[in-house]
A and B are shown apart, each in its own frame.
Chain A
């Protein structure tokens, strides 16, 4: 079976293709070179006037696992339509809905898959899998249809690692433990959240700075970052260490973020939802934008990548592994409730509902700071489009965010409606940049695939998996990106006119670098003495994810 996609205008940054009209061919789920003239073309789609990109990849979205499920349980009101503040699309702060959009910041697994594919996203990565909770994360992702998935396992606050580090274990021992964790949790990357801070909070420390010591282990976040980033780098997996910096959300935290960039001493690191870490403490309200300093540093430090974690106005919920900072944020909860958990000498979590309001000084400035970063970071290959779903906004608002980036007058019109004090503290209107379609394709496709190491995704070259999204070229970029005409997943037409026409299940992407199995001796003793489950039951087998053939694992080479 050969499908021909004819006359579409291609944006394929992995191959430097910027708006070139060219035909594509799909066979057996893959993009292939033009077949010989004697081969039969089974189906032809005429894509004249259409834009063709690879399926989009969300490299950071909380789509599964304990804290997301806690948010669902805690917030039944999110499912009541009347509760949700919906706006007219004519208002610049509003976003377009797909036909069956539920406005739910914590959609169930089914809705997650459908809403993503309806927007032309064909993969999403859960960025905060607690190793002890990995089975649940995979169960939820296994019940998420339509898209590929994968996740980053959280280390750096687990007592096993902190014991190794404080006892000055050799780097090789750390490397083996990190690799073992990737295997045991079926993850594709490693994340650290508030390095050392989640553990320190269990000892009643309430803040932890980059060079401050954990009160029990006497190690600093800087040492944790150095050790973990080195391990990830030496193991040779593609995805750099995913770093949620210390001091999330705190006024003046930009200095921590700048200092964190140097903590790995040149080894690659990815700083996630950097908007939440770009705050100054200037002005009457002691809260200001440090987007300029952060962007300048990002432009300078070639080993650092970042995603933005843009906030957009409306009701959402923040679900984070950062129990220490969420404990502090709980006072701002709206509605007024929160869940904070200490978890298994492994990590923690904090779930706090938020309602970002455009007339609130801090919220308005957060919105502006995110956009300032997007527009000031020069290299689209090192900055990624996220809302840290659902923490800054639900992922369903991506098309709106894309229009804010591509349409300066639309952006400035929205800015003019913000809290006036916040407007006075932002230079957003002086930033004239408008993202091009090519740059959007870098951020949401080619760059994301390269960062995670998905060699056959995020591009349209021969041999790539045929995850393809086709839009109608229209000046309103939000309308365009909200409603693709066609989406192909692994070569099958799954969305037509923004409606799902075929249900598929996608695969789970993993990385499994080689390691010395001897690492299990120490782990076994640790589990026997201190844990409440058996080491063997901690590990997740391939069969569990295959789930009677519906799911499956893709292992990426290192």
Chain B
């Protein structure tokens, strides 16, 4: 593995989907950073507890752990690769191994991201990106999310910025259904009805007056560039994809006369990076099973977001490879033979057959990640010395050992 020099300026933070790349490491020991937020400080300050691979909880060297992991996958008819908390290079290596082993894939936040994907696949959408928001947005409607809990610097960077290209006023941020997202389906339907000039026969809906929704619509119409922000992970109720479609339909209707755009927030742990990489490599986002070879060089992956979800796959697969390199997210409870490759500090309720701690992208090694708007991808830097192998290296070694 080439050792990249450690770097302290223009550091990209992978702790949330904003991927702020204006971080400067001002002190290495103890670690201090500038332009940080609560998430990035925790990310860059974290230390590593364990670097030793384990088989059944007992320390082993890396090559033995790799051999053992390969043996488990070799015996497995239907391996399930879950978690998928990684960046582009890790995902590329993972896809190569998945192709070889006929694996089923699911990202740990797919429950949320599939809601967006289903809305996209049903009707499409009209969206925007962070720099457009910074310079154009004169109204932000935050739907079911306060935005900053998941994306802490959003308001600082995109709403309270002093400078913008077109001398726009500082945008008002209007919050809708933040505390009670389950009320949103009806509220969004009423907004759509009002936007289409349909009669609404009630005075209020789920505690919100129709008059205030009318006022909101008037504000959107009056704005030059309103942005409707939602977070699929906060819309956690059955068929929430229909709420997202209500939002996108509203945006589409409003764009007949004015400019309005949507912004779906992401859920983290590399979900946007994994979904993009998986899509260009296989044609589908990461709810797929590799079904075998079409020709010597080409395999086919079947896309079924429900069938290849975590709940279903844990029942139908016969081994589990859990990957989480960006956070300590632990594997789901399961009796399957389990290989874990990921964050060195991960804690387990059941000791996995194999555990291989690997470097954290953007901290221990370089990488590439996609921002929440998918339009921008950024290089991750190596900012400290580390003995840990990369996920990509370990996966390539397992592939070779098969």
Contact = CB atoms under 8 A, between A and B. Distances in A.
B88 A74 contact: no
B280 interface: yes
B45 to A, nearest CB: 22
Interface stretch (B121-129, B142-150, B195-203, B347-355): B121-129
Interface in B112-160: 117, 120-132, 134-136, 157-158
Contacts of B126: 339-341
B175 interface: no
A342 B135 contact: no
B280 A341 contact: no
Given A79-B284, A108-B281, A73 B121 contact: yes
B280 A69 contact: yes
A537 B10 contact: yes
Nearest to B282: A108
Nearest to A99: B295
Contacts of A75: 121
Given A339-B124, A530-B135, A136 B282 contact: no
Nearest to B12: A537
B165 A66 contact: no
B304 to A, nearest CB: 9
Contact of B280 (A64, A133, A327): A64
From B132, B157, B370, residue with most partner A Cβ within 10 Å: B132
B400 interface: no
A216 B135 CA distance: 14
Query: Which bucket holds chain A's interface residue count?
Result: 35 or more
Contact of A202 (B134, B259, B280): B259
Contact of A341 (B22, B129, B279, B294): B129
Contacts of B303: 76, 79
A530 B131 CA distance: 7
A341 B166 contact: no
A14 interface: no
B379 A531 contact: no
Interface stretch (A41-49, A109-117, A249-257): A109-117
A532 B88 contact: no
Contacts of A79: 283-284, 303
Contacts of A64: 280
A37 interface: no
Given A159-B165, A503-B297, A109 B129 contact: no
A47 B298 CA distance: 29
Contacts of A339: 120, 124-127
A534 interface: yes
B8 interface: no
Contacts of A338: 124
A204 B166 CA distance: 14
Contact of A72 (B10, B135, B279, B379): B279
Given A136-B377, A534-B10, A534-B21, A110 B131 contact: no
Interface string A52-91: 0000000000001010111011111011000000000000
B225 A202 contact: yes
B375 interface: yes
A72 B280 contact: yes
B376 interface: yes
Contacts of A99: 295
Nearest to A340: B126
B313 interface: no
B131 A345 contact: yes
Nearest to A67: B375
Given A340-B126, A345-B131, A533-B378, A143 B280 contact: yes
A430 interface: no
Nearest to A502: B297
Nearest to B23: A534
A10 interface: no
B114 to A, nearest CB: 12
Interface in B349-402: 368, 370, 374-379
Interface string B263-290: 0000000000001110111111100000
Contact of A143 (B19, B92, B157, B224): B92
Contacts of A336: 123
Interface in A289-328: 327
A331 B281 CA distance: 30
Query: Which bucket holds chain B's interface residue count?
Result: 35 or more
A139 interface: yes
A524 to B, nearest CB: 11
B376 A76 contact: no
B259 A345 contact: no
A65 B66 CA distance: 34
Contacts of B9: 536
A365 B287 CA distance: 41
A339 B375 CA distance: 13
Nearest to A499: B295
A127 interface: no
Interface in A168-205: 201-204
From B88, B128, B130, residue with most partner A Cβ within 10 Å: B128
A138 to B, nearest CB: 10
A342 B129 contact: yes
A135 B368 contact: yes
Contacts of B165: 159, 163, 345, 530
A544 interface: yes
B376 A132 contact: yes
A344 B131 contact: yes
A540 to B, nearest CB: 9
A530 B158 contact: no
Interface string A497-517: 001100100000000000000
Contacts of B225: 202
B295 A136 contact: no
B294 A100 contact: yes
From B165, B225, B258, residue with most partner A Cβ within 10 Å: B165
Contacts of B375: 66, 130, 132-133, 341, 343-344
Nearest to A73: B279
B315 interface: no
B267 to A, nearest CB: 16
A64 to B, nearest CB: 7
A29 B210 CA distance: 72
Contact of B22 (A204, A340, A534): A534
Interface string B21-51: 1100000000000000000000000000000
A74 B379 contact: no
Interface in A197-218: 201-204, 216
B298 A114 contact: yes
B21 A533 contact: yes
A22 interface: no
A447 interface: no
Contacts of B164: 530
A341 B135 CA distance: 15
Contacts of A536: 9-10
A215 to B, nearest CB: 11
Contacts of A346: 131
From A64, A100, A530, residue with most partner B Cβ within 10 Å: A530
B291 to A, nearest CB: 11
B22 A133 contact: no
23 contacts: A70-B374, A72-B279, A72-B283, A76-B284, A109-B280, A109-B281, A111-B283, A132-B375, A143-B92, A159-B165, A203-B259, A338-B124, A342-B261, A343-B128, A343-B375, A344-B130, A500-B296, A503-B297, A529-B163, A533-B378, A536-B10, A537-B12, A537-B378
**Chain A to chain B: the 3 pairs with minimum beta-carbon distance, closest first:** A337-B124, A344-B131, A108-B283
Given A72-B279, A344-B132, A532-B158, 12 more contacts: A72-B284, A73-B285, A106-B283, A132-B376, A143-B281, A204-B259, A330-B124, A342-B261, A530-B134, A530-B135, A533-B131, A536-B10
